[in-house]
Amino acid sequence: MAVTMRDVAKKAGVSPVVVSRVLHGRASTVRVSPSTAERVRQAAQELGYRCNVFARSFRDGQTLNIGILHGIGFARPVFSQGSRYFAALMDGLIEGAFRHGYSVTLCPKLMGGSPAEGINDGRFDGLVWYSTMPVEENLRMLLASRVPLVLIHTPSSLLQDRFPSVRCDNVGGIRLAIEHLWNLGHRRIAYVTEESTPFMETQERIAAFRKWMAEFGAPVDESDILACPGSRHAETIDRYLSEGPRHTALVCQHDGVADAVIRRARLFGIRVPEHLSVVGFDSTAFCDEVEPPLTSVSQPLVNIGSQAIDLLVRCIRGETPEPFDLVLPCGLDVRGSTATPASHPKVD
Amino acid sequence: MAVTMRDVAKKAGVSPVVVSRVLHGRASTVRVSPSTAERVRQAAQELGYRCNVFARSFRDGQTLNIGILHGIGFARPVFSQGSRYFAALMDGLIEGAFRHGYSVTLCPKLMGGSPAEGINDGRFDGLVWYSTMPVEENLRMLLASRVPLVLIHTPSSLLQDRFPSVRCDNVGGIRLAIEHLWNLGHRRIAYVTEESTPFMETQERIAAFRKWMAEFGAPVDESDILACPGSRHAETIDRYLSEGPRHTALVCQHDGVADAVIRRARLFGIRVPEHLSVVGFDSTAFCDEVEPPLTSVSQPLVNIGSQAIDLLVRCIRGETPEPFDLVLPCGLDVRGSTATPASHPKVD
DNA sequence: GTGAAAGCGCTAACAC
DNA sequence: GTGTTAGCGCTTTCAC
């Protein structure tokens, strides 16, 4: 077995408290003479003693560990495929956690179908939950959380204002996309969405799209919202493209969708951006990798992750973070997937 | 505070052991009458009791948690930038861990400059260490590990055969790259390496390159090995390219290097693959994203991660995995970055 | 200056 | 069938 404080104490001829005091500086009421301290250190060294952080955490009732919750109904997150959405978010979460001295744990219980028992199992000082399409079941479980929790992509109001939240300004982001396309001369613009749940960012972006298109003077109807059901969106995209796109530009729910659209378009001989402009959402490094480079609304994902942890750590400390609902601005990274439409003159 | 077994016991009018027996099925010597069991369940339900897994782990002396060790001298791994090497490896590690019911933890202590104190701190049932360029200091720390450990990219022999290992067949992989280029007609082929440490895969690949080039009948010398010092490899690449490449094809240490080469080449008006063929190493999804798509030796990274966990779990169970040193074969994914050299006829 | 006691939440072993 | 004891490794409290 591992060598414990008791072993060190025995060897040094003192009690465990003294060892705690000397080696970890924790038993603050205890005073130790320099010579004893030296003896303890010596013994620890010789035995190769290492503090059992796990035992300490158990006693302290704090684990210095943050759990990542993944929405139910999603598969376990994958880093190596698709757009870099999750990768960027994780980078932010890890950066933030490390900065505060916390570990980050991916736990099968928290990422499986039923995180309920994982949430309050004592291993986590706090949790981060991100989901772009929460379902009622999710929300109920989260409300049962006894540990501090921060929401990403989901406004606090959706969970009775019990947990702070971080998300981006979807409305402003969509406006940037439309404005950009509009200025290039596009008038027939569609929105492509992957899935659709009754609330949240998906809907927020669609609503923003409707709103701004109307304000720009080109109100849209149902046929301008392309909804691709989760599993088989290539199919939906193909159907749309095969009839020859009715629009000159597409705004996509996220970069993965935009990438899919571009790849399918290529198969139909539709060139981007010459025949069709495409705008993504997230603007991770992925956008620079694909061809053509993807014009995309930038959501500060790394920052969102990092700031979510800042909020979480405050909650763990018992504070009430201020602001409680963090909305970060979006930008627009113009790359190569958007251009003046073939049939329209450029407008300034 | 959280509700504990004692609270439930009290409410149900029984002792904690009974609760343990009923709710977790753990106190196997204890027999409980159906009616008592029901009372306990009722009480637990009403109080919203959740088993404190942390406390249980403490008692059991097993955490069901695996720590990921990142070589010293590296920065903390980043998912959202560069090639998808780390992403793919992590996907495999997570998949394997989840399959066995283990969590995966990224801990600042294990990823910082001095993981020594993190290694034996009781929080991990096992560790996975990956590093493409270990230094002596790394190795000494690893040898001090009291918990099971699996090496990725590093043969067991480098650590006194104390830990099992997983890596790919670098020699075979490099052969595939050379063979492919040779068949296309390339004869002047260079190897581009990012960093160089006295041992390990970097050296193994370089050695393999020398060996196979000689066997194919085109022995190389120092000037055919392009070594780019870690921080500023763009500079080294630029210097090489600016003189007009002396070779018709480059084999690169990994996809990130290959990508860098291609991007720099573009700035010099050197087209890939028309003027210069480039082969990467790893062949993650990254290769399909870049332009041109990158021909690359495929290293089964996801599989390596997954199998590393299989080995680790066996060690945790006290078994000695067989085989102890796992070497997985490489493949070659031919994409768009390699072609017949301009100056050479195609050879079959 | 130093040590003894007590307890974090859980469960194996044993007693009744 | 059910309860008591004891202990995982650590640290706080308090007594000496």
* Alpha-carbon span A339 to A341, nearest angstrom: 6
> What pLDDT was estimated at residue A295?
98
Which among A132, A205, A210, A204 is positioned nearest to A174, based on CA atoms? A205
- With contact defined as beta carbons under 8 Å apart, do B90 and B32 qualify? no
- Strands of the sheet containing B331-333, edge to edge, are B225-227, B189-193, B249-252, B277-282, B295-298, B331-333
Q: Which helix (H) or strand (E) holds B277?
A: strand B277-282
A117 contacts in B (CB within 8 Å)? 50-51
Same domain? For A273 and A291 the reply is yes
- C-alpha A124/C-alpha A118 separation (Å) is 9
Residue B347 falls within a domain, yes or no? no
Q: Which residues of A277-313 are buried (b: 16+ CB within 10 A; e: fewer)?
A: bbbbbbbbbbbbbbbbbbbbbbbbbbbbbbbbbbbbb
CATH label of the domain that carries residue A36: 1.10.260.40
Residue whose entry in the numeric block shows the structure tokens 């920065």: B75
Say how many domains are in chain B.
3
The integer distance in angstroms from the CA atom of A2 to the C1' atom of C2 is: 26
**Within-domain flag for A101:** yes
Of the candidates B2, B52, B106, the beta carbon closest to that of A104 is on B106
Q: B-chain residues within 8 Å CB-CB of A103?
A: 105-108, 123
Mark yes or no for CB contact A111/B98 under 8 Å: yes
Instruction: Name the percent of chain A lying above pLDDT 70.
Output: 95
Q: What are the pLDDT digits (tens) for A319-337?
A: 999 999 999 999 999 999 9
Say how far apart CA A56 and CA A60 lie, in whole Å. 6
Residues A177 and A161 reside in one and the same domain: no
Q: What was the pLDDT predicted at A139?
A: 86
CB A104 within 8 A of CB A68: yes
DSSP structural state of residue A14 = S
Give first-to-last CA distance, chain B, whole Å. Answer: 74
Tokens 């040193």 — which residue?
Answer: B325
User: Which chain B residues have a beta carbon less than 8 Å from that of A121?
Assistant: 50-54
The beta-carbon neighbor of B106 closest among A103, A123, A291 is: A103
| Closest alpha carbon to B106 in A106, A63, A61 | A106
Residue A159 confidence (pLDDT): 93
pLDDT at A194: 83
Instruction: Calculate Rg over the CA atoms of chain A.
Output: 26
Mean of pLDDT values over A46-72: 92
Assigned domain for B87 exists: yes
Calculate how close chain A gets to B88, using CA atoms only, in Å: 5
- Which residues of chain A lie closer than 8 angstroms to B97, CB-CB? 108
- Give the CA A64 to C1' D7 distance in Å: 25
- CATH code of A157's domain: 3.40.50.2300
Q: What is the mean pLDDT of residues A278-290?
A: 93
Mean local confidence (pLDDT), A105-128: 89
Phi and psi dihedrals of B296, rounded to 5? -155, 145
Tell me the CB-side half-sphere exposure of residue A200, using CA atoms within 13 A. Answer: 23
- The verdict on a CB contact (< 8 Å) between B54 and A48 is no
Nearest protein residue to the C1' atom of D8, measured from CA: B59
Distances (CA, A) of B31 to A109, A261, B25, B149: 29, 62, 10, 40
Residue corresponding to tokens 């027999």: B31
B172/A317 Cα distance (integer angstroms): 54
Count CB-CB contacts under 10 A for residue B158: 16
What's this model's pTM, rounded to 2 decimal places?
0.92
Q: Are B188 and B285 contained in the same domain?
A: yes
Rounded to 10 degrees, the C-alpha dihedral B300/B305/B306/B309 comes to: 150
Residues A179 and A185: their CA atoms lie apart, in Å, by 10
Residue A317 belongs to domain spanning: 65-169+301-328
Distance between CA atoms of residues B273 and B256, nearest Å: 17
Which nucleotide is closest, CA of A56 to its C1'? D10
Å separating the CA of residue A24 from the C1' of nucleotide C1:
18
Q: How many helical (H) and strand (E) elements, i.e. helices and strands, does chain B have? A: 14, 12
Measured in angstroms, the CA of B317 and the nearest CA of chain A are apart by: 15
Q: Within this chain, do residues A45 and A108 fall inside the same structural domain, yes or no?
A: no
- B59 beta carbon < 7 A from strand C? yes
CA distance A162 to chain B (A): 18
Provide the positions of strand C that have an atom within 7 A of a protein CB.
1-5, 7-15
C-alpha A147, offset from chain centre: 19
**How far is C-alpha B297 from the geometric centre of its chain's CA atoms?**
16
CA distance B181 to B250: 9
Asked if B90 and B203 sit in the same domain, the reply is no
Question: Quick one: A19 and A135 in the same domain?
Answer: no
- Intervals of chain B under pLDDT 50: 344-348
Q: In what order do the strands lie in the sheet with A249-252?
A: A225-227, A189-193, A249-252, A277-282, A295-298, A331-333
- Is A342 domain-assigned? no
- Do B32 and B74 lie in one domain? The reply is no
CB contact under 8 A, B54 and A55: no
Share of chain A above pLDDT 90, in %: 75
Contact list, A88 vs chain B (CB under 8 Å): 79-80
DSSP-assigned beta bridge partners for residue B282: B298
What is the per-residue pLDDT for A72? 63
Say if residues A40 and A6 touch (Cβ distance below 8 Å). Answer: no
Query: Beta A277-282 vs B65-70: how paired, if at all?
Result: unpaired
Q: According to the model, what pLDDT value does residue A137 have? A: 82
| A224 and A153 in a common domain | no
Comparing A32-46, A196-210, B2-16, B97-111, which segment has the lowest mean pLDDT?
Answer: A196-210
pLDDT tops 70 at residue A74: no
β-strands A325-328, A277-282 pairing: unpaired
Please report, rounded to whole angstroms, the spatial distance between the CA atom of protein residue B7 and the C1' atom of nucleotide D9: 24
What φ, ψ does residue A149 adopt, rounded to 5°?
-145, 140
The SS3 call for residue A155 is coil
**pLDDT given for residue B334 in this prediction:** 98
* Side-chain half-sphere exposure of B230, counting CA atoms within 13 A: 8
What is the distance in angstroms between the Cα of B5 and the nearest Cα belonging to chain A? 13
Q: Which has more pLDDT, B104 or A118?
A: B104
Residues B296 and B174 placed together within one structural domain of the fold: yes
Tell me, yes or no, whether A276 and A321 share the same domain.
no
A202 shares a domain with A261: yes
Distances from the Cα of B10 to the Cα of A235, B7, B22, angstroms = 59, 5, 14
- Is residue A263 in a domain? yes
Q: How far is the CA of A58 from the C1' of C10 (A)?
A: 11
Handedness of CA A193, A197, A199, A201 (dihedral sign): negative
Calculate mean pLDDT across residues A302-318: 97
Three-state SS at A297 = strand
Residues A92 and A196 in one domain: no
Alpha helices (runs of H) in chain B, residue ranges in sequence order: 5-12, 16-19, 34-47, 53-60, 85-99, 108-111, 116-119, 136-143, 170-184, 201-216, 233-242, 255-267, 286-289, 301-316
Protein CA at A51 to nucleotide C1' at C6, angstroms: 21
**Cα angle at A136 between A133 and A141, to 5 degrees?**
105
Q: For residues B132 and B175, give the distance between their C-alpha atoms in angstroms, rounded to a whole number.
A: 20
- pLDDT higher than threshold 90 for residue A209: yes
Query: What is the reported pLDDT for A235?
Result: 87
Place of tokens 């849209």: A220
**Which protein residues have Cβ within 7 A of any strand D atom?**
A 1-2, 4-6, 16-17, 20, 24, 26-30, 51-52, 55-56, 58-60; B 13-18, 27, 29-33, 36, 58-59, 61, 122
Helix H or strand E segment including B192: strand B189-193
Q: Is residue A339 part of a domain?
A: no
- Sign, CA dihedral A49-A53-A54-A58, equals positive
Find and give the residue nearest to D5, measured CA to C1'.
Answer: B17
Task: Give yes or no for CB of A60 within 7 Å of strand C.
Answer: no
Distance CA B76, CA A238 (A): 41
- A346 pLDDT above the threshold of 70: no
- pLDDT for res A199: 60
- Which among A58, A94, A108 is the nearest to B98, CB-wise? A108
Whether residues B80 and A101 touch (CB distance < 8 A) is answered with no
Q: Does any strand C atom come closer than 7 Å to the Cβ of B15?
A: no
Residue B165 domain-assigned? yes
Distance in angstroms: CA B17, C1' C15: 14
Q: Where are the beta strands (DSSP E) in chain A?
A: 65-70, 103-106, 126-130, 149-152, 165-168, 189-193, 225-227, 249-252, 277-282, 295-298, 325-328, 331-333
- Tell me how far the alpha carbon of residue A233 is from its chain's centroid: 23
The answer to whether position A60 is within a domain reads: no
